[in-house]
Amino acid sequence: MTRKKQAKTETETSSTVKPAGETSAGAGEPTPGAVTATDTTTAEEALDTEARLGQIHEELEQVRQEAAASLDKYLRAKAEVENTRRRAEIDVANARKFGIERFATELLAVRDSLELARTVDIQQENQSALEKMHEGLDLTLKLLDTVFEKFTLSIIDPQGEKFDPERHQAMSVVENTVTPPGHVVQVVQKGYMLHERLLRPAMVIVAKAPESKPEKEAT
């Protein structure tokens, strides 16, 4: 009886003692509610991604505002350029239409003087009427010369001067013993210059040296 009880006791003890290295069931499984290192890393990455997305959104919004401001400036500049172009076209058109307004105003007095000269009764055929007409014409010419001077319009009257092909136009060439060859003998029509630009050349007759006559052969 004693040996049977001892064997039974050893059997119960062996069944109770667990082998070395053996743990309780479920030891490798995480305890419910415990925070692991993997969960912490994932949360940090999510926060970092959210922060970067927020920063990108702010940058995009800033770029959008800058683009809108640039577009507004461009449209304003374009409109200003268009307005300037239109004003320039109007100014050019007005300059073409009314560029001689001041010149025309000055010529009105010349025309008034000519009309006054026409009131002289030349049918009387007396010396007094002719003198009045000449006085009126002289006055008109003086008025016209004054207008020309104001607008830098100069007369080309090259009587006795050397022929200048840049400003003179030769109508003919004649022999002349008084005027040097190549000089103007007669001005048929005066020329005009506007500043440094030739408006009309002077129509002139140019002198040339007389041709020498051959001597008669001795008989």
Backbone angles phi, psi at 49, to 5 degrees: -65, -40
Q: What is the pLDDT of residues 58-105, one digit of tens each?
A: 899 999 999 999 999 999 999 999 999 999 999 888 887 777 888 888
Per-residue model confidence (pLDDT) at position 131: 78
Per-residue model confidence (pLDDT) at position 22: 46
Per-residue model confidence (pLDDT) at position 25: 44
Closest CA to 169 of 181, 154, 184, 155: 184
Per-residue model confidence (pLDDT) at position 198: 92
Strand partners, 109: none
- Asked if residues 156 and 167 have their Cβ atoms less than 8 Å apart, the reply is yes
Which residues neighbour 107 within 8 Å (Cβ) at sequence distance 6 or greater?
A: 144, 147
Per-residue model confidence (pLDDT) at position 214: 61
pLDDT of 51 above 70: yes
Per-residue model confidence (pLDDT) at position 21: 44
Domains and CATH numbers, the chain: 153-211 (2.30.22.10)
Find the mean pLDDT for residues 23-37.
51
Query: What's the whole-model pTM score?
Result: 0.54
Helices (H) and strands (E) in the chain, counts: 4, 6
Tokens of 70: 């640039």
pLDDT of 10 above 70: no
**124 confidence band (pLDDT: 50, 70, 90):** low
